[in-house]
Amino acid sequence: VMVSSGSTGKHYAQIRNGAAFDVFLAADSARPERLEAEGIGIANSRFTYAVGRLVLWVPGQHELGPPDQYLQNADFRRLAIANPRLAPYGLAAEQALRAWQLWQHLQPKLVRGENIAQAFQFVATGNAPAGLVALSSLLAGVRPVEGSYRMIPSELHQPIDQQALLLRRGEAAEAFLRYLRGGDAAALIRSAGYEVPAA
């Protein structure tokens, strides 16, 4: 499998402009749905392969209380999030902050990454002392991340349903998507910090 990583929004635009991908693994459901509706990709091949989880990560903190209290106190210079217009995790971060009535309050402190990986890097490199990042980013490293993190309640934002879409028929691509629906893949997906849909 040859992987091309990037923001869901950018890959969506590339696919619409003819990029030669066989499978689209998006970090949302809206863009695969749009591609399918536009006749780009194979009809009825779209499915949710993972559900993302958003966390507040603060590397310097050993004890971290409720995330809304930490964010409300705003005793930090910058808060990294993914760009809500490009990245589903960024949209989830905005929705959670709005639910806590902190979106306007935190505007001067927000640093927006192009995607969730860049938001994570802002925190990992110390350019932002805190961030709303993907749980999967925290679990992806060889060694444990420093500091503390707290899960953002999933009821505060739309589900981060991550969908797959077959873009062109082919034995290898179809076999890969069959594998992605199976139990072995589900165990790997869970261990990587995602939830797996029940059906």
For residue range 50-62, list pLDDT tens digits in order: 999 999 999 987 7
DSSP state of 23: E
The residue among 61, 66, 106, 68 whose CA lies nearest residue 84 is 106
What is the arithmetic mean of pLDDT over 19-34? Answer: 94
Confidence of residue 144 (pLDDT cuts 50, 70, 90): low
DSSP string computed for 140-185: SSSSPPSSEEEEPPGGGS--EEEEEEE-S--HHHHHHHHHHTSHHH
State in Å, rounded, how far the first CA of the chain is from the last one. 25
Q: How far is CA 148 from CA 1, 51, 67, 145, 192, in A?
A: 34, 22, 11, 8, 18
Please check the confidence at residue 158 and state whether its pLDDT lies above 80.
yes
CB-based contact 41:24 (threshold 8 Å) = yes
Q: What mean pLDDT value characterizes the chain? A: 92
pLDDT in tens, 116-128: 999 999 999 999 9
What is the predicted pLDDT for the residue at 182?
94
Return the CA Rg of the chain. 17
pLDDT the model gives residue 113: 95
